[in-house]
Structure 1
Amino acid sequence: MQGHKLFQIFTGKFNVLKTPYMVTGSVASIVYGEPRLTHDIDIVITIPVSLIEKFQHSFPKDEFYFPPVEVLKNEILRDNRGHCNIIHNSSGFKADIYFAGNNDFQHWALENVRNIDFRGEAMLIAPVEYVITKKLEFYKEGKAQKHIKDIKSMLENSREIINFDLLNKFITKFGLVEEWKLCN
């Protein structure tokens, strides 16, 4: 199965459910930057506890590993950093699902997603300013050079759509000025 079709295995379900979501992480950096290998897709969603079972039923047990409902409830109710994994059994492709919780930055990003056509498939992508900011945070935490490389690629390929005033506001707010200097 082609890579972009693997993305659709997950994003297509969210489109049908009309669950607010956004693709972020390496897949978003591929969209805004340049292609590279990835083994998963990162998706931020907001979903009420009342829809957990409907959410679970859209990923059939014979096709997907899906966490138990109780685990989902606990993760959705976390104020910050709630998450779970959903795995497509036949391909082994994984979606890292992050629940927005009370994270204002994620809610801002969800309100400002870009609806794109990615190789013929509809996909909601996090704003480039969000993706760059999160990549800077991840670099600060773990010093993985791939994040700096992804940011430089996004700056090179998507400069015309980046709101640098807004991006600089986020960089300052989250204490990422030193990390940002590595990207320029």
Structure 2
Amino acid sequence: MDQAELLKFLVRNLERLQLPYAIVGSFASGIWGESRFTQDIDVVICPSLAEVEALCKAFAAPEFYVSPNAALEAVRDRSQFNVIHLDSGNKIDFMVAGKSSWNIAQLDRRKSIALFEDQNGFVAAPEDVILGKLIYYREGGSDKHLRDIAGIAKISGETLDLQYLEQKARELEVFETWQAVQDAVRES
């Protein structure tokens, strides 16, 4: 199962389970900006304990590996767990939304878009993808996140809600990095 097939399988199961979600990370930055290869699919969810049990069953062995215990712990701790497609090694990182205003806003602001000819799915709004990438950069320092942000700023820049983005960037303490990326995009 390649990544596109895994994404379609993921979205169909989340829709069937009626579990609110937003695709984030590199898949989302590729939709709003410049696409690049990624090793996994990142998705934000906010399930109950019962919903996460049903989600784990949708990704059952022998095709997939998922630890139901890790998934339940992630819901309780508001952290993350993953699912691995065993034949391909492709991975889904499920990030359980925290309780901050921005975590909640990601799911409220998500956009339904055509991911495939026959399949719509929910993707985090471009501003929230930028904010997530700014946080990833702060935590890990990888320049790939800055490139993703710059790609979104170049391609979707005219449509960005800058007031929302700047307010949340200040709250999340990533405003200076956001300003530096904007300056670099203007200079290029």
TM-score, L = length of structure 1: 0.91
Offset, 1:83: 0.8
Q: Does 1:151 align with 2:149?
A: yes
Structure 2 residue identity aligned to 1:20: P
Q: Does 1:128 align with 2:129?
A: no
Alignment of 1:1-184 (within 5 A): 1-68=1-68, 70-78=69-77, 80=78, 82-120=79-117, 121-184=119-182
What are structure 1's unaligned runs of at least 5 residues?
Answer: none
Give me the identity figure in percent. Answer: 29
Offset, 1:158: 0.9
SS in 1 for 2:80: strand
Q: State the distance in 2 between where 1:144 and 1:101 align.
A: 23
Q: State the distance in 2 between where 1:74 and 1:2 align.
A: 28
Q: State the distance in 2 between where 1:6 and 1:37 align.
A: 15
Q: State the distance in 1 between where 2:75 and 2:123 align.
A: 21
Asked whether the 8 Å contact 1:77–1:101 carries over to 2, the reply is no
Structure 1 stretches of 4+ with a deviation exceeding 3 A read: none
The number of residues matched between the two structures is: 181
Deviations 1:53-105 (A, max 9, x none): 3222211212110113x332221011x4x110101122211000011142331
Please provide the CA RMSD for this pair: 1.5
What are structure 2's unaligned runs of at least 5 residues?
Answer: 183-188
Asked whether the 8 Å contact 1:4–1:118 carries over to 2, the reply is no
Q: State the distance in 1 between where 2:72 and 2:174 align.
A: 32
Instruction: Pick closer, same or farther for the CA change 1:2–1:61 going to 2, 3 Å.
Output: closer
SS in 2 for 1:182: helix
Structure 2 residue identity aligned to 1:96: D
TM-score, L = length of structure 2: 0.90
Asked whether the 8 Å contact 1:29–1:150 carries over to 2, the reply is yes
Q: State the distance in 1 between where 2:56 and 2:139 align.
A: 32
